[in-house]
């Protein structure tokens, strides 16, 4: 089992280019099967979740290959419409392929995506959206069997702005006759990136970024090349690391408006943060103060994916910060691991109160999930002594090269790989 080893206590200095966005490229990879031809993705991050999507595309009959730093997909000859259990279990968000497969082939079959570390991950909104478009979905023995020979566009109102359900409905609607209007759609930047990719292929989609998205289905598509947007959560992670350790860090290839609620919280905690065209600069003396109350919410609110890393940055802050996790039921699994490092955090249901301590201490810790693992890296950078992080496969799902990136910023961090 591989580990990440961090010698904490040093400041971070330097410049870093931010990787492409995991939560944008995953639905975009599903969307490539809408076009019976070639699409090229630039800025696609090398992540285990991307490799899992590539395996799904190849299983369906596509070719999907790295050409240098570009990922080329050719979906000319899709031969299958099923995603087998072992591929679904690799990545639960593969459910986003459902809408695209139905749009392209009219059939789809996949095992029911289970829950994950964050708690149950229902897909009722995904399924109700597809049924409203005319799909016949049957759930039998843990398997979803779907038929959608003739989908028709219509107005679909989502009871909550689910990111995945919005994406699945957008992709399915591309295969429906007429116009689909999604009401109460998610407004995340990743939704806008998916829209721009679809438009690059010739699909007619508008309104992403607002709560109402319109899709004109069954448009002719053509080959396209597209550059994936920067990962706002990776950016939030590295800013939190600099805030915790102290120093001066400049992030490039980042849209600062995509994480303005995160930079506002970091500013409130005493960091100096400035955002320019495509870059963010953060300066910190490493001694922060309470950021008040942080409530996670759908975009443009504070992103749930940044909750853990901001928490880690505030473990030594003066005063107490209150976190309210409003999106997922079980998103404090990193707390116990942080407390092993000397953190003072109390959790009651969706509320976590972080009371700053004078020092954190390196410890043996384990990743509980993707962003919880990133939080352990942030805390390790601020801790005295050595932190040894296990189960780092969680981190590798969403961060392309966290060790290399943090080393580039001056961190004393190494990857210990054991066969």
Q: Give residues in contact with ligand EPZ (CB under 6 A).
A: 22-23, 26, 93, 121-126, 160, 162-165, 186, 304-305, 327-328, 370-371, 398
Specify the residue, 342 or 372, whose C-beta has the smaller distance to ligand EPZ: 372
Q: From residue 314, how far is each of 226, 244, 288, 292, 301 by CA, in Å? A: 37, 7, 7, 11, 19
Which of 297, 301, 346 is closest to 325 using CA atoms? 297
Which of 260, 244, 231 is closest to 376 using CA atoms? 244
Q: What minimum distance in Å lies between the beta carbon of 371 and ligand EPZ? A: 5
Residues 326, 280, 332: CA angle, nearest 5 degrees? 25
Specify the residue, 45 or 153, whose C-beta has the smaller distance to ligand EPZ: 45
> For residue 124, with 0-12 CB atoms within 10 Å meaning exposed, 13-18 middle and 19 or more buried, which class applies?
exposed
174 part of the active site = no
> Which pair of structure tokens corresponds to residue 110?
């996949």
Which of 44, 116, 174, 271 does the annotation list as catalytic?
116
Specify the residue, 123 or 241, whose C-beta has the smaller distance to ligand EPZ: 123
User: 3-state SS of 229-248?
Assistant: CECHHHHHHHHHHHHHHCEE
> Which pair of structure tokens corresponds to residue 325?
């996790």
Specify the residue, 149 or 157, whose C-beta has the smaller distance to ligand EPZ: 157
Q: What minimum distance in Å lies between the beta carbon of 303 and ligand EPZ? A: 6
User: CB–CB of 316/288 below 8 Å?
Assistant: yes
Q: What minimum distance in Å lies between the beta carbon of 342 and ligand EPZ? A: 25
Q: From residue 306, how far is each of 219, 295, 376 by CA, in Å? A: 37, 11, 13
What beta strand segments (E) does 253-376 contain? 272-276, 279-284, 293-295, 320-324, 344-348, 351-355, 364-366
Residue recorded with tokens 């010698």: 7
Q: What minimum distance in Å lies between the beta carbon of 284 and ligand EPZ? A: 24
Specify the residue, 151 or 163, whose C-beta has the smaller distance to ligand EPZ: 163
State how far the Cα of 163 lies from the Cα of 346, in Å rounded to an integer.
29
Specify the residue, 226 or 299, whose C-beta has the smaller distance to ligand EPZ: 299
Specify the residue, 174 or 186, whose C-beta has the smaller distance to ligand EPZ: 186
Please identify the residue of the shown chain whose CB is closest to the bound ligand EPZ.
164
Helix (H, G, I), strand (E, B) or coil at 24: helix
User: CB–CB of 185/213 below 8 Å?
Assistant: yes
Half-sphere exposure of 352 (CA within 13 A, CB side): 28
State how far the Cα of 155 lies from the Cα of 72, in Å rounded to an integer.
34
Q: What minimum distance in Å lies between the beta carbon of 82 and ligand EPZ? A: 21
Q: What minimum distance in Å lies between the beta carbon of 222 and ligand EPZ? A: 26
State how far the Cα of 357 lies from the Cα of 243, in Å rounded to an integer.
15
Half-sphere exposure of 342 (CA within 13 A, CB side): 18
Q: What minimum distance in Å lies between the beta carbon of 365 and ligand EPZ? A: 18
Helix (H, G, I), strand (E, B) or coil at 38: strand
Which of 79, 74, 11, 14 is closest to 279 using CA atoms? 14
Specify the residue, 41 or 281, whose C-beta has the smaller distance to ligand EPZ: 41
Q: What minimum distance in Å lies between the beta carbon of 329 and ligand EPZ? A: 7
> Which pair of structure tokens corresponds to residue 402?
């966290």
> For residue 41, with 0-12 CB atoms within 10 Å meaning exposed, 13-18 middle and 19 or more buried, which class applies?
buried
Helix (H, G, I), strand (E, B) or coil at 118: coil
Which residues are marked as active site?
Answer: 116
């Amino acid at each position: 089992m591989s580990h990440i080893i961090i010698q904490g206590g040093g400041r971070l200095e330097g410049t870093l280019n931010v990787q492409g966005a995991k939560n944008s490229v995953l639905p975009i990879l599903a969307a490539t099967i809408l076009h019976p031809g070639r699409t090229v993705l630039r800025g696609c991050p090398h992540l285990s979740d991307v490799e899992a999507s590539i395996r799904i595309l190849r299983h369906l009959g596509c070719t999907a290959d790295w050409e240098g730093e570009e990922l080329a997909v050719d979906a000319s000859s899709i031969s299958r419409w099923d995603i087998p259990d072992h591929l679904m279990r690799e990545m639960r968000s593969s459910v986003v392929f459902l809408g695209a497969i139905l749009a392209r082939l009219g059939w789809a079959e996949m095992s029911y995506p289970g829950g994950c570390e964050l708690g149950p991950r229902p897909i009722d909104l995904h399924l109700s959206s597809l049924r409203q478009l005319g799909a016949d979905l049957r759930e039998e023995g843990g398997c979803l069997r779907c038929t959608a020979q003739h989908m028709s566009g219509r107005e679909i109102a989502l009871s909550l702005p689910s990111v995945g359900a919005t994406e699945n409905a957008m992709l399915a609607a591309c295969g429906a006759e007429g116009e689909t209007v999604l009401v109460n759609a998610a407004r995340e930047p990743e939704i806008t990136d998916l829209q721009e990719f679809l438009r690059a292929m010739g699909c007619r989609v508008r309104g992403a970024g607002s709560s109402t998205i319109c899709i004109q289905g069954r448009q002719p598509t053509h080959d396209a090349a597209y550059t994936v947007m920067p990962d706002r959560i990776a950016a939030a992670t590295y800013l939190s690391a600099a805030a915790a350790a102290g120093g001066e860090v400049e992030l490039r290839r980042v849209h600062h408006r995509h994480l303005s609620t995160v930079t506002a919280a970091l500013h409130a905690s005493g960091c100096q943060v400035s955002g320019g065209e495509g870059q963010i600069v953060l300066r910190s003396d490493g001694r922060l103060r309470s950021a008040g109350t942080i409530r996670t919410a759908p975009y443009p609110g504070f992103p749930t994916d940044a909750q853990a890393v901001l928490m880690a940055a505030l473990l030594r802050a003066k005063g107490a910060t209150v976190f309210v996790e409003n999106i997922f039921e079980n998103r404090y699994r990193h707390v116990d691991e942080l407390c092993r490092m000397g953190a003072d955090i109390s959790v009651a249901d969706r509320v976590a109160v972080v009371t700053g301590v004078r020092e954190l201490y390196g410890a043996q810790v384990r990743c509980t999930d993707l962003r919880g693992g990133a939080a352990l890296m942030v805390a390790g950078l601020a801790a005295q002594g050595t932190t040894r992080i296990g189960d780092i496969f969680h981190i590798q799902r969403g961060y392309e090269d966290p060790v290399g990136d943090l080393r580039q910023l001056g961190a004393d961090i190494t990857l210990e790989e054991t066969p």
